[in-house]
Amino acid sequence: MKSKTEIESKIINNERKSTSYIHPIVSNEYIAKLIAAYSNGDGGDIVFGIRDDGKNLEVKTFSFSIDMAEIKKSIEGSIYIQNDSFEMGKSNIFYISVSKSKDLIKVNNIPYIITSNGILEEMKLKKVFISYAHKDRDLADYLEKSLGVQNNLEITRDINVTSYKDSLSEFMQTIRKHDIVIAIVTSAYIKSLNCMYEITQLMQDVDYLKKLYFIIVNDEDAFFYKEENRYENYQANIYSTQNRIAYLSYWSVEQTKLEQEIRNANLRPALLGNLAQEMKKLDSVLPSVDDFLALLNDRVGRGFKDMYEKEFKDILDNL
């Protein structure tokens, strides 16, 4: 946060970076939006009593009172601000210095930002879907925590959205409503019907390749699992024809097993409703598994350790 001396220096030097000058007065709501915007960025200052014509700063005066308590009421999230006034010549100057917040700050449920041109705008959030197998939840925890520091991302993960009364199938179908999908690809992921169903839903979009980012888990990534959650052969191992054939064989066997179990159960048709739905889900997944494996094999996939050490920059730079 800036001191009185630093604010005065900004005015003298005609400095506009991360600074909004206001004269004569604006609404409390607009001030709240500016505070939210600077909080969602790297901080900034709001200076009252200075006229800015786009070229020069002219010292006027600020003779109004600002109800900071009222302004704070409309702000959602924890903000870090300091406000004070000082004399510059014969003029009274009031300022609010804002620090970056750890929260996504909103006004009337809308987040704001200051553009590089100093314009106040609504922040457009990118919706991110984390697709992973529950065996790999430790990796998903790391990923979610790392992405969580980005104020412009709204992260969707099953454990944060679904409750005991929610439909898992309906939740998985929401994958297409997201801007980005990050798949944590392991052997458990490729052998999970729910994970493959999520990917099948995504692949129905003509532009799914623009949305899909993936992390190919390899030998170096064991560290990210809690000891009690590590399991054998967790690695994706998708870069060989033999391993791809093994995955396809796995799914062929699973289909045969389910068909056989349904036949052996000898149930009346009225009792087969849910099982039939499961069979339909499996049937919808099978054609896409090979396409998905071929896609992974064709792209340069990075391991979790590599991505984590670079703070997932390869993904964030493309958002």
pLDDT above 50 (res 165): no
| Exposed / middle / buried, residue 32 (Cβ in 10 Å: 0-12, 13-18, 19+) | buried
Give the model's pLDDT for residue 274. Answer: 64
Model confidence band, residue 168 (pLDDT cutoffs 50, 70, 90): low
Average pLDDT of the chain? Answer: 89
Residue 41 and residue 121 in contact, taking contact as beta carbons nearer than 8 Å: no
Residue 42 and residue 18 in contact, taking contact as beta carbons nearer than 8 Å: yes
Average pLDDT over residues 96-107: 94
Average pLDDT over residues 161-171: 53
Q: Which has the minimum average pLDDT: 23-37, 149-163, 218-232, 235-249?
A: 149-163
pLDDT above 70 (res 264): yes
Place of tokens 């054939």: 245
Give the model's pLDDT for residue 204. Answer: 84
Model confidence band, residue 172 (pLDDT cutoffs 50, 70, 90): low
What are the pLDDT digits (tens) for 275-298?
667 777 788 888 888 889 988 888
Give the model's pLDDT for residue 49. Answer: 96
- Going by C-alpha positions, the residue among 72, 67, 70, 66 that lies closest to residue 105 is 72
Residue 175 and residue 203 in contact, taking contact as beta carbons nearer than 8 Å: no
Model confidence band, residue 213 (pLDDT cutoffs 50, 70, 90): very high
pLDDT above 50 (res 256): yes
Q: Assign domain 4-122 to its CATH architecture.
A: 2-Layer Sandwich (3.30)
Give the model's pLDDT for residue 164. Answer: 42
Fold of the domain spanning 126-316: Rossmann fold (3.40.50)
Q: Which has the minimum average pLDDT: 16-25, 94-103, 142-151?
A: 142-151
pLDDT above 90 (res 13): yes
